[in-house]
Structure 1
Amino acid sequence: MINSAVKLKVDRRDGKLVMAQIYVAFIALLIGGLAGLLQVLVRSGRFELPAGIGYYQILTVHGVVLGLVLTTFFIMGFMQACVSITAGTFTNKQRTIAWIGFWLMTIGTVMAAVMILLNEASVLYTFYAPLQAHFLFYLGLTLVVVGSWLGSAAIIMKYAQWRRANPGTPSPLLTFMALVNVLMWIVATLGVAATVLIQLLPWSLGLVETVNVGVSRTLFWYFGHPLVYFWLLPAYMAWYVIIPKIIGGKIFSDSLARMSFILFLLFSIPVGFHHQLLEPGIDAAWKFLQVVLTFLVVIPSLMTAFSLFATFETFGRSKGAKGLFGWFKMLPWGDARFAVPFIGMLSFIPAGAGGLINASNQMNQVVHNTIWVTGHFHLTLATAVVLTFFGITFWLVPHLTGRVLTKAINKLALIQGVLWAIGMTFMSGAMHAAGLLGAPRRSAFSEYGGAPQAAEWIPYQVAQAVGGSILFLAIILMLYIFVNLAFFAPKGEEEFPIGEMSTHAEPAPMVFENWKIWMGITVLLILFAYTIPFIDLIQNAPPGSKGYNNLW
C-alpha cells in the first residue's frame, strides 16, 4: 500500500532515461501523424502526393512509426518510471542495460526509417512476404526488438531484486503489472524475431531464393495479436492504479487487477490464427480453437471495466452522490489527467465490440481485409491507448522535468482530447461504414493509383479526410503541450499519482507471484495451439518453388 503522506519522486537518473524514450515517442507522433494526414487526403481522391512519393511508402511510415516506434518507446519509458518509483531506483547496472536497450532501439528505428523514406521498404507495418524490403529495414527492426528486450531485462532485474529484499510480500502493483507486460512482450517477440532473423533477413540478402510465406505470416501474428495487449496493458496500468488517485478515490481490488493481468498473459499469445481465418494452409479446427481462446480474453477486459466503474461509483457515493448515475457528475471532468483517458475508456466499448466481430469465425468473413479492420484498429490503439498515453504525459513529463501542469495547459489538454474524439469519430466511423460496404484496407482508393473506389465509398473517404485533418490539428496541439511541459512550464513539483488500496480490498495472494505456474501454463497453451499447425505448414507447403522450404 502507498502512503499518501509520502511524496514519491522518480530518481533524476531514471528520469533522464524515461524522458529520452518519451522524446523519441513524440518525434514519432509528428512524423507518423503527418503520414496519416497524407493518407486520408489521398484516399479522398482530391489530393496527389508530391515529389514521386508513393502511397504505400507513407502507409508504411504511418504504421511502423506509430504502431511500433511511438508505442514501444513510450511504453518502455512509462513502465520503467512505474518500476523506479514503486520498487526503487534502478541500480547502475540495471540503468546501463536499459540505456543500451534505448540506443539499440533508436539506431534500429533510424535504420528502418531511412529505408522506408528511400522507398526501399514499402512493405507496411506487417511486412508480409512476398513483399521484400532492403535488408537494413529488417536489421533495424531486429535492433528495435533486441533493444526492447534489454529495457525489459532492467525491469525484470529490479523486480527480482525487490522480491529478494521482501520475501513473502506481494510486489508493488505497478511493478507487478509492468513485469507481466514485459514477460508477454518477450515471449511474443520471439515469433517476429524468428521470422526476421531466420527467414526475411537471409532472403533479403539473397542467401536463399524464397521463404515459406505461410510460416512467416503465422509467426508475425503469433507476435501481432499480443502486440495489441502490449499497447493496452500500460493503459490498464494507468486505469487501475493512476486514475483512482487522480479522482481522489481508492483502487477497488488489488487481487482483481493482478488476476486480470495474469489472464492477459495466458490468453493473449496463442490466438494469432484469428487474424488468419481466411488463409489457406491452417486446418479449420485449429482456427476454431484459437477463436475460442481469443474470446477468453474478453474476461479480463470485463473484469477491468467492472473494477474501474466500481472505483468511480464508490468515489461518487463517498461524495454524497444519489441515484443510479449520480456519481457520474462527481468525477473531475475539468482535470485533463482524468478526462482525456476517460474518453479513451469510452472508446474501448465500441472497439471491444468490433474486436469480437473480427475474432468471430463467421462475422469476420464479412469484414475481413476491409477498411472496417482499420477503423477498429484506430479505436483501440489510436484512441483508447493513445489518449491514455496523452493523459499520462500531462503529469509524467512535468514530474520528470521538475515543472507543473498549469491551468492554461490543462485547458488546452481538454480541448486536445475533445478534438481527438471528434476527429476519430469522423474517421473511424467512416472506416467502419465503408468496410461494411466492402471497401478494402491498405488501398489508396484513388484515381492516382491503387484500387478504384466504388461510388458509395466516396462520401466515407471524404469523411475520413475530414476526421484525419482534425486529428492532425489535435496532434499539433499535443506536441505544443508536450514541449511546454518539457521545457517551458513553471518550475515546481508535479505528483506521480499512485492510488491507495480500498480498505475493503483483500490482500493479494502470493500465488500471483509464482511465475513457474503462470509461465508454464503460457508455454503449454502456446505449444498446444501452434505445434501441429506449424508442422502442417512446413510439411505441406506448396511444391514447385525452389528453396521454398529450405529454412523450415
Structure 2
Amino acid sequence: MEALKNFNPKDAKLVMAHFYVAFIALFIGAFAGLFQTLVRTGKLMLPASINYYQILTVHGVLLGLVLTTFFIIGFIFATQSKSCGTYSERERRYGWIGYWMMTIGTLISAIFILLGEATVLYTMYAPMMAHPLHYIGLTLVVVGSWVCGFVVFHRHFRWKKDNPEKVSPLLSFMGVSTMIMWLIACLGLAITVLVQIIPWSLGLIPTIDVLISRTLFWYFGHPLVYFWLLPAYAAWYVIIPKVIGGKIFSDSLARLSYILFILFSIPVGFHHQLLEPGIDPFWKFLQVVLTFLVVIPSLMTAFALFATFEIRGRELGATGLLGWWKKMPWKDVRFFAPFMGMLFFIPGGVGGLINASHQMNQVVHNTVWVTGHFHLTVASAVALTFFGVMYWMVPSITGRKLTPAINKLGLIQTWIWTIGMLFMSGSMHAAGLIGAPRRSAFSTYAGNEDTLAWIPYQIAQAVGGSILFIGALLVVYIFFYLAFKAPNGQEDFPIAETNNIAEPVPPIFENFKIWIAVCIALILFAYTIPFIDMIQNAPPGSPGWTSVIGR
C-alpha cells in the first residue's frame, strides 16, 4: 500500500498490537463502569457470584492501567519510528518481548480478578490482599513496559549517535522523557510489591509495614497521572499544530516543560497521605509545595497551545483577542476531540490543586470528589486526546483512510463522551462535597437517612455512565473499522515543524543525565528522612522494614 512507504510495516504491526489490547480493554472496562454506576443507584442488583468491588477492580485495572499503558507505548513507538526512522530488528524484537510480557501479565491478573481473588479496588494498597499471581501478573505488565522503555531509549540515542550535531526530534525527546519518569516512578512500586506485598501474599511473612507500603505506592501513584498525561501533551504540542495548519510555538519551551515534569512529578506522593499519621507535617508541607510547582509546566503548555492557536488564527485573518476561535477546524475530529480534552483539563487541574492543599483536601479526602477528578483528567483530557490520535494514526500506519462518514461519527462520539462526562464527573464532584464516600456500593449506605442526599447524584452518575458507555462502544467500533474496513489510501501522519521565530534549543536540554541526577537528588531530599522516621518509629507490633526484608 502507498501509505506504508512512509511507515515501516513491521513497526506498524507492533504499534497496532498494542492498540488492539488497549481497545479490547476499553470495551470490557466500559461494561464494568456501566454496572458500577447502576449498582450505586440501588436500582441494579448484581448476581450473587459477582461482587461490586470486583467490577470496580476490573474497571480500574482495564481502563486506568491496561488501556493507558498499551496505548501510550504504542503511541510512543509510532511517533518515534516516524520521527527518528524505523526500529532495527533487535529493537523491534525487544519491543515484542515487552509487549508479550505485558499481555501475559494482563491475562494472569484478569483471571484472578474474575475469579474474585483480587478484589482490591485496582490498587496495590495494603492492608488489602489479593492472590499473589495477581501481583505477579501486574509486575509482568510493569516490567514489560520497562523493556519497551529501553527500546525507546536505545532508538533515541542511536539517532543522536548518527546525528551528533543536530537537535533530536521533539516527539522522540518527549517519548524518552515520559519513559524516564515512568521508570523512576515505578521503582517505589517495584520495591513494595517485590519486597513486601508478594512475600506477604505468599505467606512468607506474617504482615507488612502498611505506612511504608502506602508511601512507596504513592511515590508511584502521583507520577502515574503524568505518565497518562505526557503523551497527551505530546499530541497537543506537536500534532495539533500540524492538524490546524500551523507550527510549534517553541521547541525549547516544550522540552523545558517535560524536564520540569520529570523533576517535580515524583517527589510529591505525601500529598495523597495528608491525613495519614506517621509522617511529619513538615515533610507533608514540603511535598505539597513541590506538588504546586507542577503547575508551572502545565501553564507553560497552556500558553504555548493558545499562542499556537492565535498565531494560526491571525494567519487566516482572525482579529481580536478570541478571533482565532472562528478559524479552527471544528469539523475535523483530529482537532475537535483533543481540544475538548484540553478544555476538560482546566477544571481537572483546578481540582488537582484542591486535592493537594492541606485544608481543602480535608473536605474532599476519600470522597467521590477524587473519583470525579480522575474522570476529568485521565478519562476526559487524556482519553479524548487518545481518541483524537487514534482517528488519524490507525489509518495512517495501516494504509487506510479516515472517511468523511467516520470523521462525522467521531464528532458525534466526542459530543457523546463530553456530555456523559459532564453528568458523571459533575455529579461526582457535587456528591463529594456533601460527603459521599469514594468506591462504595449502594448497600453500604442504604437505609441511612443522612445519606439520602447522595441518591440524586448517584442517579446522575448512572445517566452519565450510560451515555459514556455508548460513547465507548462507538469509539471501539470506529477503531476496528479504521483498522480493518476503511478504504485503502494514504492518511497524513501530522508532525508539525517549529515556528521560524522560535529560539534554538539549548544543548543542556538534551542532556538527560543532568536532569535524572537532579530528579534523584530531589527524591532523596523529600523521602530519606521521612523513611528513616518510619522505620525507627514503627508502631508496636509492626514488623518494621527490617523484618520485611528478612532479618
How far did 1:168 drift? 2.8
Pick the aligned partner of 2:313 from 316, 324, 342: 316
1:281 to 1:450, Cα distance in 2 relative to 1, 3 A: farther
- Alignment-derived partner of residue 391 in structure 2: 394
How far did 1:550 drift? 1.1
| 3-state secondary structure, aligned to 1:521 | helix
1:389 to 1:452, Cα distance in 2 relative to 1, 3 A: farther
- Alignment-derived partner of residue 107 in structure 2: 110
1:341 matches 2:329: no
- Alignment-derived partner of residue 368 in structure 1: 365
| 3-state secondary structure, aligned to 2:275 | coil
Report matched runs for 1:467-482 at 5 Å.
467-482=464-479
Pick the aligned partner of 1:70 from 47, 67, 74: 67
Pick the aligned partner of 1:181 from 171, 178, 183: 178
1:515 matches 2:517: no
What is the alpha-carbon distance in structure 1 between the residues aligned to residue 475 and residue 150 of structure 2?
31
How far did 1:139 drift? 0.4
Is contact 1:21-1:76 (8 Å) kept? Answer: yes
1:273 matches 2:251: no
- Alignment-derived partner of residue 459 in structure 2: 462
Q: Percent identity?
A: 67
- Alignment-derived partner of residue 500 in structure 1: 497
Q: Which amino acid aligns with 2:483?
A: A
Report matched runs for 1:293-442 at 5 Å.
293-442=290-439
Q: Which amino acid aligns with 1:24?
A: V
Pick the aligned partner of 2:58 from 58, 61, 78: 61
1:451 to 1:223, Cα distance in 2 relative to 1, 3 A: farther
| 3-state secondary structure, aligned to 1:454 | helix
- Alignment-derived partner of residue 231 in structure 1: 228
- Alignment-derived partner of residue 445 in structure 1: 442
Pick the aligned partner of 1:543 from 532, 540, 543: 540
Q: Which amino acid aligns with 2:180?
A: L
Once the two structures are superposed, residues 138-192 of structure 1 have per-residue CA deviations (whole angstroms, 9 ceiling, x without a partner) of 1001100110000001000001101111113210000000000000000001111
- Alignment-derived partner of residue 123 in structure 1: 120
Q: Which amino acid aligns with 2:206?
A: E
- Alignment-derived partner of residue 30 in structure 2: 33
| 3-state secondary structure, aligned to 2:317 | coil
Q: Which amino acid aligns with 2:63?
A: L
What is the alpha-carbon distance in structure 1 between the residues aligned to residue 252 and residue 5 of structure 2?
23
Q: Which amino acid aligns with 2:54?
A: Q
- Alignment-derived partner of residue 86 in structure 1: 83
What is the alpha-carbon distance in structure 1 between the residues aligned to residue 264 and residue 357 of structure 2?
16
Residues paired across the two proteins, number: 547
How far did 1:446 drift? 3.2
Is contact 2:18-2:99 (8 Å) kept? Answer: yes
How far did 1:126 drift? 1.8
- Alignment-derived partner of residue 257 in structure 1: 254
1:361 to 1:148, Cα distance in 2 relative to 1, 3 A: same
Q: Which amino acid aligns with 1:428?
A: S
Q: Which amino acid aligns with 2:412?
A: I
| 3-state secondary structure, aligned to 1:457 | helix
What is the alpha-carbon distance in structure 2 between the residues aligned to residue 169 and residue 297 of structure 1?
29
Pick the aligned partner of 1:137 from 134, 148, 151: 134
Pick the aligned partner of 2:159 from 158, 162, 166: 162
- Structure 1 unaligned blocks of 5 or more: 1-5
What is the alpha-carbon distance in structure 2 between the residues aligned to residue 51 and residue 407 of structure 1?
46
Q: Which moved more, 1:331-340 or 1:166-175?
A: 166-175
What is the alpha-carbon distance in structure 2 between the residues aligned to residue 8 and residue 254 of structure 1?
28
Is contact 1:44-1:446 (8 Å) kept? Answer: no
1:215 matches 2:208: no
What is the alpha-carbon distance in structure 2 between the residues aligned to residue 309 and residue 91 of structure 1?
38
Pick the aligned partner of 2:39 from 35, 42, 59: 42
Q: Which amino acid aligns with 1:221?
A: W
Q: Which amino acid aligns with 1:306?
A: F
How far did 1:357 drift? 0.3
Q: Which moved more, 1:444-453 or 1:47-56?
A: 444-453
Taking structure 2 as the reference length, the TM-score comes to: 0.97
Pick the aligned partner of 1:244 from 241, 244, 254: 241
Q: Which amino acid aligns with 2:81?
A: S
Is contact 1:286-1:533 (8 Å) kept? Answer: yes
- Alignment-derived partner of residue 143 in structure 2: 146
Taking structure 1 as the reference length, the TM-score comes to: 0.97
Report matched runs for 1:516-531 at 5 Å.
516-531=513-528
What is the alpha-carbon distance in structure 1 between the residues aligned to residue 321 and residue 5 of structure 2?
36
Q: Which amino acid aligns with 2:305?
A: L
Q: Which amino acid aligns with 1:94?
A: E
What is the alpha-carbon distance in structure 2 between the residues aligned to residue 278 and residue 262 of structure 1?
30
How far did 1:547 drift? 7.2
How far did 1:31 drift? 1.1
